[in-house]
Chains A and B, each alone.
Chain A
């Protein structure tokens, strides 16, 4: 088992999947924040 090269592959997988997941999380949190603000603004109207 070529551990060094397995390590490279695993690193890439972590980077790819990790960045997609982080992006999604960021979108999710941003969306929640904006939706909260919108509902506050709409209440004030």
Chain B
């Protein structure tokens, strides 16, 4: 097996991603309007273009974990477990990004780093769930059981997400009003920049998962060679 960076498609992807990230940054800096005219905080608003795509990517990742879980339980093929772990790791990576950029944005735009907002809280709960997921993989015993239990956990976790979101939505309606962003009311310029960044992050995510899986396979090969001796 050779290095990931010697394969053609990943390299093409990497180049595209770097270009898109650079272009995206330039567009966000130069051309995008602020999202919320009333807030008047020109620069801080632009965090939105990185915060929300991170959220999308994290949830995409966790969705893939669920699908991979189902497929692993159905087929028992190890590759599904690899896809699941890689997606879980990267989903959590982006989840952390949400949890870090969110309060920064909140502090900058609305003066409050933490709001009891259903989306932010759902993200926090999801993050905690996946901390548990990785603990389970760490302490779970031999590989077969770990893989199977992780698959089940991945399925349960994602199934829980809509219920968590709904309950938080009704819960926070009783508590303080919080700043919200209506996506459909934004101008097309804002939306275009947003979707561009969304596409960039999605491509980035796919690249990262692919790279991670490649390394997992390498690791497995290393272990097989070690035990073969």
Contact = CB atoms under 8 A, between A and B. Distances in A.
Interface string B72-110: 000000000000000000000100010011001101100
Contacts of A13: 25, 50
Interface in A1-45: 2, 4-6, 8-9, 11-13, 15-17, 19-20, 23-24, 27-28, 30-32, 34-35, 37-38, 41-42, 44-45
Contacts of A31: 3-4, 214-215, 218
Contacts of A30: 215
A34 B101 contact: no
A15 B101 CA distance: 8
Given A2-B42, A31-B214, 16 more contacts: A2-B41, A5-B108, A9-B43, A11-B104, A12-B50, A12-B101, A15-B101, A16-B97, A23-B93, A24-B211, A27-B211, A28-B5, A31-B3, A35-B2, A35-B218, A38-B221
29 contacts: A6-B43, A8-B47, A8-B105, A8-B107, A8-B108, A12-B47, A12-B50, A15-B101, A15-B104, A16-B97, A17-B21, A19-B93, A19-B97, A20-B208, A27-B4, A27-B211, A27-B212, A27-B215, A28-B5, A30-B215, A31-B3, A31-B214, A34-B218, A34-B222, A35-B3, A35-B218, A38-B1, A38-B222, A41-B229
Interface of A: 2, 4-6, 8-9, 11-13, 15-17, 19-20, 23-24, 27-28, 30-32, 34-35, 37-38, 41-42, 44-45
Interface of B: 1-5, 21, 25, 41-44, 46-47, 50-51, 54, 93, 97, 100-101, 104-105, 107-108, 204, 208, 211-212, 214-215, 218-219, 221-222, 225-226, 228-229
